[in-house]
């Protein structure tokens, strides 16, 4: 059995889809953030896999992943800051309650 690229891509895609599912279904904002991390991570895997399998001579995919990890960290930090802020104001981080503005 040959472990071709698709064997790596599909798990990553499933990871991404799990993230999507989590984002849409979770109530806790931090859980949503966790789902987002999954999605970002799946993207990273994709880049790495493409780099390794298709374009092994270069490092573009790897570097993208490297930077993407940094970006993810920054995003998470800021997002958590905002969420904590919300928690301070409303003592609640249920995303469903964050819908004062609509229509």
Partner 1 sequence: MDYSQFLAMRQEIGLLIVFLLVFLYDTFMPKKALNATAGFTTILFLLFTAASFIWGNIGDVDAFAGMYSTSGVCSMIKNILNVGVLIVLIQSCRWANGELMIMRRGEFYELLLVTLFGMYLMISARHFLLFVIGLESASLPLAAMVAFDKNRYESHEAAVKYMLTAVFSSAVFMMGLSFVYGLSGSLYFHDIALQLGSSFNPTLVVALAFVIAGVGFKLSLVPFHLWTADVYQGAPTSVTSYLSVISKGAAAFAFLVILVQCFGQFYSMVWEWMLYALIIATITIGNLFAIRQNNMKRFLAFSSISQAGYIMLGIVGCNEMGLAAMMYYILVYIFSNLAAFGVIGAIENQTGKVEMTDYNGLSRTNPWLACSMMLAMFSLAGIPPFAGFFSKFFIFTSAINQGSIAIYVLVLIALINTIISLYYYLLVVKAMYISPEEPQIATFRSACSERLGLWITVGGIVALGIVSFFYDSIMEAAAGSTIFAFVG
Partner 2 sequence: MQPVLPIIILALPLAMFLVLGLLGHKMSHRLAGILGTAGMGTTMVLAYIVSFTYFFSGNPSFIDAETHTRLQAVIFNHDWLAFTPSLVIRLGFLLDPISALLLVVITTISFMVHLYSNGYMRDHHGVWETGFQRFYAFLSLFSFSMLGLVVATNIFQMYIFWELVGASSYLLIGFYYTKPSAVSASKKAFIVTRFADLGFLIGILILSFYTGTFNFTDLTSVEVSEGVYQISEGTASSIKNIFATSAAPVFMGGSVLTWALVLIFMGGMGKSAMMPLHIWLPDAMEGPTPVSALIHAATMVVAGVYLVARLFPLYLMEEMSLQIVVVVGALTAFYAAMVACTQNDIKRVLAFSTISQIAFMMVSLGVARPEFHHGLGYMASMFHLFTHAMFKALLFLCAGALIHAIGSNDYTAMHGLRKHMPITHITFLIGCLAIAGIIPFAGFFSKDEILTATLGHSTFWYIWMSAVAGLTAFYMFRLYYLIFWWKEHKVPAGHHAPHDQPWTMTLPLVILAVVSCLAGFVPMGNLVTWNGHEMFESVNFFTNFAALDWSVASISLAVAIAAILLATVMYKKENPLPEKMKNLLPNLWRWCHHRFYWDELYMFITHKIIFGCISKPIAWFDHYIVDGAMNGLALLTQKVSYAIRGLQSGNVQMYVWYYLIGALLLGAITAICLI
Partner 3 sequence: MESVGSIIVYSIITLAIIVCSVLAVTTRKILRAATYLLFALFATAALYFKLDYEFLGAVQIAVYAGGIVVLFVFSILLTSKPGDNSAKLASKKRVLGLIGALSMLLVAGYSLVSRTSFVTATASGENPVMKEIGAALMGTGHGEYLLPFEAISVLLLACIIGGVVIARKR
Q: Which residues bind partner 3 (CB under 8 A)?
A: 1-22, 24-28, 30-31, 33-35, 37-38, 41, 44-45, 48-49, 52-54, 56-60, 62-63, 65-67, 69-74, 76-78, 80-85, 87-88, 93
Q: Is 32 helix (H, G, I), strand (E, B) or coil?
A: helix
User: Does residue 78 belong to the site contacting partner 2 (CB under 8 A)?
Assistant: no
- Which residue's structure tokens are 């780099």? 51
- Which residue's structure tokens are 């698709």? 6
CB of 32 to partner 2, least distance (A): 8
What is the C-alpha to C-alpha distance for residues 36 and 34, in angstroms, rounded to an integer?
5
């Amino acid at each position: 059995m040959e472990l071709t690229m698709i064997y790596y891509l599909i798990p990553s895609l499933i990871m991404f889809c799990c993230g999507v599912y989590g984002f849409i279904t979770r109530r806790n904002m931090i859980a949503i953030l966790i789902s987002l991390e999954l999605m970002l991570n799946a993207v990273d895997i994709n880049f790495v896999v493409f780099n390794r399998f298709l374009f092994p001579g270069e490092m573009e995919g790897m570097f993208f992943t490297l930077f993407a990890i940094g970006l993810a960290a920054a995003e998470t930090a800021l997002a958590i800051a905002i969420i904590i802020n919300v928690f301070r104001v409303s003592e609640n981080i249920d995303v469903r309650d964050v819908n004062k503005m609509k229509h």
